Amino acid sequence: MPRPVTVVLLALLLLLPAACGTEEPETSQGLSHAQQRTLLELFALPARHSGEHAGEGASSAPPYRTSTTVNCTPQELMPPIDCPAGGNIYFTVNLMCEGPSLCCGNEPPCRQDTFSIEGLGTTTYNNCTAVSDEGDRMVVNGSLHIGVESETAFTCSGVYDSETVVRITGIPSVQMNGREACPGNVSLEARASLDYEAVTTIKGRVCGVDVNELYADGCVVACGSGSCCQGGSYCSTCGTGCVPEGYVDCCNGKHCPPGTRCTDDGQACML
């Protein structure tokens, strides 16, 4: 049965790219392009940061330890965020968690298991401040309604991928140099995916303009060769490819589970 948890969820997301993200030099609200970009980057920060942690709900309990269950404790995974020039962003969300089924402990084991979160609540900007390249001080305050949906799929070796969707609506206060700069309703959706790479897309309407932005934050696990590995794995140190965390690298694209080792030719596993 799903279980509710009230927590501070950094929640995956962005809280309003109130940056009025258009490519025009100015908007009807009088924000320059530099001011827009400062706000957009400020409000995209939570979504991008949450994407980095999206898989941790499952990876915190390695699936090959079949006696371990996954806790729904996103307050540990997604704490409040400090804003660049002062203030913070935090979330209070009533969560429902489901999974995993622990089918990796079956005989025979399943191919993968899942862990999901759903929640509703509020996200609060507390004097969240950033300063633009032009020296303008942007400050955001206020609480908005938030909805969260997240699902992580992981193999029985612990390699995972996840997608998190956050929707927010409300009317925050956005001030530039002490004056209200971005009045009106905010309606946004942030979608963070995490597999080999971390990517966050944001779309909606803020400051009276449509917003549609993509943030590609690079490899989830970066290898020296420039390639990426999936969450829950590490780069081979003596060959190419990726190895699940806790597994032994046989150096030829193969790996052995915990408690075993590779044979001398690296083609099989042995106790």
32: tokens are 């320059």
Q: With the CA atoms of 239, 194, 93 and 144 taken in that order, what torsion angle do they form, in degrees rounded to the nearest 10?
A: 140
Buried b / exposed e along 81-106 (16+ C-beta atoms within 10 A) = bebeeebebbbbbebbbbbbebbbbe
The pLDDT score that the predictor gives to residue 117 is 82
* Alpha-carbon torsion (73, 164, 159, 81), positive or negative: negative
The pLDDT score that the predictor gives to residue 73 is 57
Residues 64-91, mean pLDDT to the nearest whole number = 67
Residues 68-76, mean pLDDT to the nearest whole number = 51
- With a threshold of 0.85, does the pTM exceed it? no
State what percent of residues in the chain have pLDDT above 90.
18
